[in-house]
């Protein structure tokens, strides 16, 4: 994950404070109360179009100085491609730009989840590759929210992530 400089210690402290508050809550929220024999449903987002995936692969392979603009071109061509929005957030020039790209990925992801049958509850697992753009954007959004001082939003996002997949955020995504 891209690291921001300047004010980093303050942002890290905010993220750690939000994470510790979520940890206290997530102990109980990670054990859902199941009222039916089938448990909570899991939703898997559809795999992105092969053309979109190839375009993003090429953007990732672009020289570093061109990678952000190449990724922005993929987003413009495939505006519903969550992995591209997530990467655009990763490549943002400052916390506000990163926050904005992650926020778009989050909202587009909610739309995609609803179109896939998700109704506001149930699991969206990291183990499904097609879910990782959305979930990764949530991680980024939570981090940027903490950096810009939106602590309540950072805490809400961390709790939402714990509810979507109680097994937790993979170490590679932290």
Rounded-to-10 torsion of CA 100, 102, 108, 112: -170
17: confidence class by pLDDT, cuts 50, 70, 90: low
> What is the C-alpha R_g of the chain?
16
27: confidence class by pLDDT, cuts 50, 70, 90: very low
Distance of CA 128 to the CA centre of its chain: 14
User: Which residue in 103, 107, 75 sits closest to 88, CA to CA?
Assistant: 75
Residue pair 70/87 in contact (Cβ under 8 Å)? The answer is no
Measure Cα distances from 60 to 72, 119, 159, 174 in Å: 11, 33, 30, 20
Please give the pLDDT value at position 117.
Answer: 95
- Decide if pLDDT at 28 tops 50: no
Return d(Cα 97, Cα 12) in angstroms, integer: 18
pTM: predicted TM-score of the whole model, two decimal places: 0.79
User: Which residue in 162, 117, 130 sits closest to 53, CA to CA?
Assistant: 130
DSSP 6: S
Return d(Cα 101, Cα 121) in angstroms, integer: 24
The mean per-residue pLDDT over the stretch 47-65 comes to: 98
DSSP per-residue codes, 78-95 = -TT-HHHHHHHHHT-SSH
Distance of CA 24 to the CA centre of its chain: 21
Of the two residues 9 and 140, the one the predictor is more confident about is: 140
Q: Is 123 helix (H, G, I), strand (E, B) or coil?
A: strand
13: confidence class by pLDDT, cuts 50, 70, 90: low
Could you say which architecture CATH assigns to the domain 9-25+45-173? Alpha Horseshoe (1.25)
């Amino acid at each position: 994950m891209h690291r921001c400089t300047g004010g980093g210690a303050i942002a890290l402290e905010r993220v750690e404070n939000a994470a510790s508050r979520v940890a206290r809550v997530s102990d109980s929220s990670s054990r859902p109360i199941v009222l039916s024999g089938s448990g909570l449903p899991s939703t898997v987002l559809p795999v992105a179009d092969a053309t979109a995936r190839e375009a993003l692969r090429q953007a990732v392979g672009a020289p570093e100085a061109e990678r952000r603009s190449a990724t922005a071109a993929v987003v413009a061509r495939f505006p519903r491609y969550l992995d591209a929005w997530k990467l655009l957030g990763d490549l943002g020039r400052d916390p506000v730009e990163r926050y904005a790209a992650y926020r778009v990925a989050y909202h587009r992801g909610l739309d995609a989840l609803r179109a896939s049958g998700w109704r506001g509850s149930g699991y969206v697992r990291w183990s499904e590759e097609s879910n990782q753009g959305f979930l990764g954007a949530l991680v980024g959004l939570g981090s940027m929210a903490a950096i810009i001082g939106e602590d309540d939003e950072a805490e809400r996002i961390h709790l939402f992530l714990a509810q979507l997949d109680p097994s937790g955020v993979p170490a590679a995504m932290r």
